[in-house]
Amino acid sequence: GEVVQVGSGKRNDDGSRQEMEVKVGDKVLYSKYAGTDIKLGTEEYVLLSEKDILAIVS
């Protein structure tokens, strides 16, 4: 899949944010059963946690 949006990252124990490793535009591989499928208008998306991404391929 292609990353179209990312969150602000996870919050660490000290309150700081850990930046996401994936960036908008990255091509990623994820498990067939990972995430949640949603449809917004005519577009279909999969909502994933970064931990569910198996590989960044580009």
The pLDDT score that the predictor gives to residue 46 is 96
Regions of the chain with pLDDT less than 50: none
Complete DSSP assignment for 1-58: -B-----S-EEPTTSPEEPPS--TT-BEEE-TT-SEEEEETTEEEEE--GGGEEEE--
The model's pTM is: 0.80
Domains for the chain: give ranges and CATH numbers: 10-56 (2.30.33.40)
pLDDT at res. 58: 79
Q: How far is CA 40 from CA 44, 46, 47, in A?
A: 6, 11, 12
Query: Do residues 15 and 41 touch, judged by C-beta distance below 8 A?
Result: no
**C-beta of residue 1 within 8 angstroms of C-beta of residue 24:** no
